[in-house]
């Protein structure tokens, strides 16, 4: 291990390994196949780069990020580490030259995309090289339960077993729920005890959920106040990126944009401008950022609700990679839920839609919980521990709590009277005495619970229902048209065996 520390110092200029890095490096050098799970910015790259310099032969790095391979390789070369890549951006001649260099033992690291392993001739070529280690970056792409499934990842295991040098496999990811962790272990045939999980907590991140604000105004004020700071604003759709980008530009704020609909050259130009600080704000879809290593991002704003917690945390985690305090802000508006449902319906195969809808549900719950936000994230990723972070917007929210058990009972009993077959808005409609035609048609205006909460707006009652879902009092079933049911916890509330409290809300004026 002393040798590893020497390499760390000599090539990378760091004095010591970070939490988790030392254990992973030790595992790899001892020849153990390993899964390493570290938060974004935790320093996953060094976990294979350092061993590659201590092992004979060339370490193969499998990464889905073709667009970043060149940057990664250039950075290594600058540090005096002979590295190269083979991907579809190279000409046939460049590929041949690189292969010749690999055969001549000129490189310590080779980056490739997983698809390349599907080529028989390429695999035959790899079989001729001394490969001591295969690093699988973004290993969550291997799981259908993850948020970024790539079918080509499924071939990695069989390709690696065909390598005569019997290399060590190191799988790395920042976002893996317990289910995804198990999938990675299973597919790569790695033993449970060889998983190194360093914890997902990033204690320099301040999480905040903002609800009920005019988002455009809010963002404008925020970026003006934080003019000197670098930040990323994520939107759910390209259209929204364009609209927000235009709005901020019109307000005289220098801002970049990035999404899959822009040309490669424009995207590259915008990305470079952001990386070298000539623009400090980037408005983008989730196409921006995977693998982007900009250390001084001071805030990440989610202008709209992301589709799941994995994506959210990966994006939010791009703030504060340098360890300096940074903010992660989610702006929530109920209509985003529909946007995300629509995106799921349009883009996800029907057999996986339920899974995605469930993930979306957990994202919505994050926006509605009144408990510690950091805690919610850690629990989501299967981490134990019950200390409040003390600095997220929920921990800092000093509004008094009120007992809302009776109102919860009103909602629950209304749901039962509607036979638990409807979603939030119709239930809120019945409770607030809406004249909606559907309510008349179903004769819900005859129910004793009709208009029971008519002192409140339908919007407030809907938010209250969302809160009850987040608290687990109401369960959600079904995909595009979710149906609400009284959960076992909800039954206890109905029977008066459990009470529910909530922070006192700002009431919106009834319209």
In terms of DSSP H, where are the helices of 8-138?
Answer: 21-29, 45-54, 66-78, 92-103, 120-126
Judged by CB under 6 A, the stretch of 39-47, 301-309, 333-341, 451-459 that binds ligand ADP is 39-47
Cα separation, 256 vs 266, whole angstroms: 10
The DSSP bridge partners found for residue 325 are none
| Secondary structure letter of residue 187 according to DSSP | H
Q: Are 476 and 412 in contact (CB under 8 A)?
A: no
Minimum Å gap between C-beta 254 and ligand ADP is 25
| Nearer Cβ to ligand ADP (40/326) | 40
Tell whether residue 40 is a contact of ligand ADP (CB under 6 A).
yes
CB of 92 to ligand ADP, least distance (A): 31
Q: Any idea which residue has 């901020």 for tokens? A: 248
Using CB under 6 A as the binding criterion, the count of chain residues that bind ligand ADP stands at 15
Q: Which of 41, 51, 64, 320 binds ligand ADP (CB under 6 A)?
A: 41
Give me the least distance between CB of 318 and ligand ADP, in Å please.
Answer: 9
Smallest distance, ligand ADP to C-beta of residue 291, A: 7
Between 42 and 479, CB nearer to ligand ADP: 42
Q: Does 293 bind ligand ADP (CB under 6 A)?
A: yes
For ligand ADP, the binding residue among 44, 267, 298, 368 (CB under 6 A) is 44
Four-CA torsion 151, 153, 159, 160, nearest 10 degrees? -160
Q: Which stretch binds ligand ADP (CB under 6 A): 44-52, 145-153, 429-437, 467-475?
A: 44-52
Q: How far is the CB of 139 from ligand ADP (least distance, A)?
A: 12
**Which string of x and - marks every residue 186-225 that binds ligand ADP (by CB under 6 A)?**
----------------------------------------
Residues within window 303-332 making contact with ligand ADP, judged by CB under 6 A: 321
Chain residue whose CB lies nearest ligand ADP: 43
- How are beta strands 168-173 and 133-136 bridged, if at all? parallel
Report DSSP state, residue 237.
Answer: S
- CB 49, CB 10: distance < 8 Å: no
Beta carbon of residue 42, minimum distance to ligand ADP (angstroms, whole number)? 4
Q: Residue 265: in which H helix or E strand, if any?
A: helix 264-275
Nearer to ligand ADP, 195 or 244 (CB): 195
Which of residues 43 and 306 has its CB atom nearest to ligand ADP in the complex? Answer: 43
Q: Pick between residue 221 and residue 295 the one whose CB is nearest to ligand ADP.
A: 295
Sign of the dihedral defined by the CA atoms of residues 476, 478, 483, 487, in that order: negative
Residue of 7, 17, 115, 307 that binds ligand ADP (CB under 6 A) = 17
Nearer to ligand ADP, 137 or 327 (CB): 137
Question: Residue 25 Cβ, how far from ligand ADP at the closest point, in Å?
Answer: 10
> Given the complex with ligand ADP, which of 56 and 203 has the nearer CB atom?
203
Question: Which of 9, 189 has the CB closer to ligand ADP?
Answer: 9
User: Could you tell me the two tokens for 300?
Assistant: 């990440």
Strand-pairing partners, residue 306, are: none
Beta strands at 297-302 and 230-234: parallel, antiparallel or unpaired: parallel
Among 295, 347, 401, 507, binds ligand ADP (CB under 6 A): 295
In the complex with ligand ADP, the residue whose CB is nearer, 21 or 181, is: 21
User: Min. distance of Cβ 21 from ligand ADP in angstroms?
Assistant: 6
Rg (CA), the chain: 25
Secondary structure (3-state) at 168: strand
Coil/strand/helix, residue 218: helix
Question: The tokens of 464 are what?
Answer: 């209250």
Q: Which residues contact 300 (CB under 8 A, 6 or more apart)?
A: 231, 232, 233, 234, 315, 316, 318, 319, 326, 327, 328, 329
Residue of 4, 7, 20, 21 that binds ligand ADP (CB under 6 A): 21
Token representation of residue 282: 């980037």
Which lies closer to ligand ADP via its Cβ, residue 95 or residue 293?
293
Measuring CA to CA, which residue among 85, 39, 80 is closest to residue 60? 85
Consecutive H or E run containing 405: helix 405-417
Q: What span, in angstroms and rounded, lies between the C-alpha atoms of 204 and 170?
A: 28
Instruction: Work out the end-to-end distance of the chain between its first and last CA atoms, rounded to an integer number of angstroms.
Output: 68
Binding part of the chain for ligand ADP, among 14-22, 111-119, 400-408, 453-461 by CB under 6 A, reads 14-22
Least CB distance from residue 322 to ligand ADP, whole Å? 8
Q: Is 11 in the site for ligand ADP (CB under 6 A)?
A: no
Query: Does residue 455 sit in helix, strand or coil?
Result: coil
How large is the angle between the packed helices 238-250 and 215-225, nearest 10 degrees? 60
Instruction: Rule CB under 6 A: say whether 18 interacts with ligand ADP.
Output: yes
> Residue for token digits 């802000």?
329
Binding status of residue 46 toward ligand ADP by CB under 6 A: yes
Residue from the set 25, 29, 38, 330 that interacts with ligand ADP by CB under 6 A: 38
Q: What minimum distance in Å lies between the beta carbon of 44 and ligand ADP?
A: 3
- Minimum CB separation of residue 251 from ligand ADP in Å reads 33
Of 314, 317, 344, the closest CA to residue 328 belongs to: 317
Positions that interact with ligand ADP (CB under 6 A): 14, 17-18, 21, 38, 40-46, 293, 295, 321
């Amino acid at each position: 291990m002393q040798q590893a520390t020497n390499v760390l110092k000599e090539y990378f200029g760091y004095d010591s390994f970070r939490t988790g890095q030392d254990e992973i490096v030790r595992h790899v050098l001892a020849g153990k196949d390993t899964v390493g799970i570290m938060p974004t910015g935790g320093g996953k790259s060094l976990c294979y780069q350092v061993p590659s310099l201590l092992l004979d032969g060339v370490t193969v790095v499998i990464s889905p990020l073709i667009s970043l391979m060149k940057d990664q390789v250039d950075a290594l070369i600058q540090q005096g580490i002979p590295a190269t890549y083979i991907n579809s951006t190279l000409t046939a001649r460049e590929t041949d030259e690189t292969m010749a260099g690999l055969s001549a033992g000129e490189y310590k690291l080779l980056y490739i995309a997983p698809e390349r392993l599907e080529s028989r001739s390429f695999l035959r070529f790899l079989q001729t090289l001394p490969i001591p280690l295969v690093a699988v970056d973004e290993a969550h792409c291997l799981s259908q339960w993850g948020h970024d499934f790539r079918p080509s990842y499924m071939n990695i295991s069989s390709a690696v077993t065909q390598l005569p040098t019997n290399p060590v496999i190191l799988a790395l990811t920042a976002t893996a729920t317990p289910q995804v962790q198990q999938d990675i272990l299973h597919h790569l045939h790695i033993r449970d005890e060889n998983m190194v999980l360093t914890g997902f907590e990033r204690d320099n991140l301040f999480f905040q959920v903002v609800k009920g604000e005019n988002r455009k105004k809010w963002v404008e004020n925020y970026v003006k106040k934080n003019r000197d700071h670098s930040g990323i604003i994520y939107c759910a759709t390209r259209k929204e990126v364009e609209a927000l980008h235009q709005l901020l530009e019109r307000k005289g704020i220098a801002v970049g944009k990035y999404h899959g609909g822009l040309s490669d050259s424009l995207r590259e130009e915008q990305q470079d401008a952001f990386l070298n600080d000539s623009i400090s704000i980037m408005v983008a879809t989730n196409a921006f950022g995977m693998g982007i290593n900009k250390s001084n991002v001071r805030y990440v704003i989610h202008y709209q609700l992301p589709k799941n917690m994995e994506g959210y945390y990966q994006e939010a985690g791009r703030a504060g990679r340098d360890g300096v305090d940074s903010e992660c802000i989610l702006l929530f508006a109920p209509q985003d839920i529909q946007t995300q449902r629509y995106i799921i319906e349009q883009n996800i195969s029907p057999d996986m839609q339920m899974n995605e809808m469930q993930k979306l549900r957990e994202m919505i719950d994050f926006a509605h919980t009144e408990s510690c936000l950091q805690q919610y994230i850690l629990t989501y990723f299967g981490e134990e521990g019950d200390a409040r972070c003390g600095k997220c917007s929920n921990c800092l929210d000093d509004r008094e709590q009120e007992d809302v058990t009776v109102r919860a009972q009103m909602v629950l009993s209304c749901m039962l009277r509607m036979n638990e077959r409807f979603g939030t808005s119709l239930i809120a409609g019945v409770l607030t005495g809406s004249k909606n035609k559907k309510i008349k048609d179903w004769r819900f205006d005859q129910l004793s619970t009709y208009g029971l909460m008519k002192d409140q707006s339908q919007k407030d009652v809907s938010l209250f229902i969302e809160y009850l879902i987040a608290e687990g009092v109401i369960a959600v079933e079904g995909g595009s048209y979710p149906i609400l049911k009284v959960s076992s916890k909800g039954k206890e509330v109905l029977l008066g065996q459990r009470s529910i409290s909530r922070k006192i809300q700002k009431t919106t004026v009834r319209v």
